[in-house]
Amino acid sequence: MTSPAQAASDASPNADEPIVLATLSPSRASDFKQCPQLYKFRSIDKLPEPTTVHQARGTTAHLALEWFYDRPADERAPEVLYDLFRKAWTELRGSEEYEGLFETAEDERAWGVASMELLANYFGIEDPQQVVPMDRELDLVEELDGMVIRGILDRIDERPDGELVILDYKTGKAPPERYAASAFFAMKIYAMLIRQRLGRTPVELRLIYLNGPTQYSMSVNDEVLDGVQKQVRAIWDSIVRAIETDTWKPSTSVLCDWCSFQDICPAFAD
């Protein structure tokens, strides 16, 4: 998507032009925090990563849940969500991104059945007929302290007491809660963006893992978000320095086992 607030990954395709950090998303900020080299592979080099069946499920489920909340409350039944998932996949499956994802029609059918089972878990987390979202798939682009931060928020609710809650759906399996810090870090950035846009501070973050199902929540306030803004400022400045010096230090961890770029990463060079 082209806009005045382009990300570093959207830098000019002309190799002779300098790379400029124009925007930063919560996910790319988390990438850099995890491993600067990973950030470079994704945002500067823009190296392709293979689409997985898990990513396809996540994208399709998010679209189905967005449409689900377009329906009147009394129509939000499991069968409706399943039908919306089928509709979403029908729209997505023909794109180049998903070409060749399944070897056989039977593999695709089995994936679909497993996806329905996952969606069924959602109804064990919350009653959708009682949910009144303030917004869904909200595109946020905000300028903060000389930075432009952008991202798409899954859902924001306003509680009966008027307080705001932001939510993120996950189709993967929930990690032990102590390892959910990176997901909460991204959500704190979203809360910071909401505060900037609405002038209201969300009081709660909720991670909904459909594979389980499991739900984690965290309270936030202005003090927490002020601290996050300082962290994002430090990450932004570090990315700018890395661009200027072309220095991208890899940071190894257990997460390397799931990295698409391990075979070209300097940390694993022979």
d(CA 78, CA 253): 39
pLDDT at position 270 is: 62
CATH 3.90.320.10 in the chain, residues? 131-229
Distance from C-alpha of 136 to C-alpha of 125, rounded to nearest angstrom: 18
* Domain 131-229, second-level architecture: Alpha-Beta Complex (3.90)
Is the pLDDT confidence value at 101 over 70? yes
Quick: pLDDT tens for 197-240.
999 999 999 999 999 899 999 999 999 999 999 999 999 999 99
Tens digits of residue pLDDT in 147-185: 999 999 999 999 999 999 999 999 988 888 887 888 899
Q: Which amino acid does the sequence have at 94? A: G
> Do 42 and 28 meet the contact criterion of CB atoms below 8 Å apart?
yes
Secondary element (H or E) of residue 225: helix 222-245
pLDDT tens string 113-143? 999 999 999 999 999 999 999 999 999 999 9
pLDDT tens readout for residues 22-42: 999 999 999 999 999 999 999
Share of the chain above pLDDT 70, in %: 94
How much is the pTM? 0.88
- In angstroms, rounded to a whole number, what is the distance separating the alpha carbons of residues 158 and 133? 7
DSSP secondary structure string, 126-160? --GGG--EEEEEEEEEEEETTEEEEEEEEEEEE-T
pLDDT value of position 28: 96
Q: How far apart are CA 66 and CA 89, in angstroms?
A: 13
10 Å Cβ neighbour count for 270?
Answer: 2
Phi/psi at 206 (nearest 5 deg)? -130, 125
| Closest CA relative to residue 115, chosen from 64, 61, 173, 62 | 61
What is the model's pLDDT at position 16? 60
pLDDT of residue 15: 55
